[in-house]
């Protein structure tokens, strides 16, 4: 099963919790055990599994990446001013694969799935969720 989530982002750089939407796709699929691939379409967005107990971890991730990859110093900035966004997205990566266990996301208590926006705000970001049942090839 394949389903595309469409959502808006509200800041230039932010982590958006999409765990509920991904869990909904898994539930709708009816798959008991397998995998779900969560893939961000776009060269300046990424997917991350991270803690969501409070917003401090998400803020720390954004702050760390801003310090590691500052804005305005990259060759690509000459084209459209978002060289840092491409580098951050590439470093984090476009996808995560999460096990499905007994019909639910196989995340631990403190793990959630995040869309990482590095070049927002955007009125439309697409995340492709592909559900694969155990035993499928």
- pLDDT at residue 135, as a whole number: 80
Question: Which of the residue ranges 22-26, 107-111, 132-136 would you say has the lowest mean pLDDT?
Answer: 132-136
104 pLDDT band, cuts 50/70/90, is very high
For residue 59, pLDDT beyond 70:
yes
C-alpha 124/C-alpha 117 separation (Å) is 11
pLDDT of residue 126: 98
The pTM score is 0.95
Which CATH architecture best describes the domain 2-133? Sandwich (2.60)
Sheet with 2-7: list strands edge to edge: 2-7, 125-133, 34-41, 95-101, 104-105
* CA pair distance 53, 114, nearest whole angstrom: 13
């Amino acid at each position: 099963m394949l389903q595309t989530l469409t959502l808006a982002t509200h800041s230039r750089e932010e982590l958006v919790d999409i765990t509920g939407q991904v869990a909904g796709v898994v539930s709708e699929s009816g798959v008991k055990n397998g995998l779900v691939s969560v893939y961000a379409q776009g060269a300046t967005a990424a997917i991350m599994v991270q803690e969501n107990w409070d917003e401090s971890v998400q803020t720390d991730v954004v702050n760390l990446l801003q310090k590691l990859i500052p804005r305005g110093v990259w060759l690509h900035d000459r084209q459209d001013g978002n060289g840092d966004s491409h580098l951050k997205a590439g470093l984090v990566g476009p996808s995560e694969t999460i096990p499905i266990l007994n019909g639910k996301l196989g995340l631990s208590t403190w793990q959630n799935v995040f869309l990482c926006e590095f070049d927002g705000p955007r009125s439309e970001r697409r995340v492709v969720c592909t559900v694969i049942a155990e035993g499928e090839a």
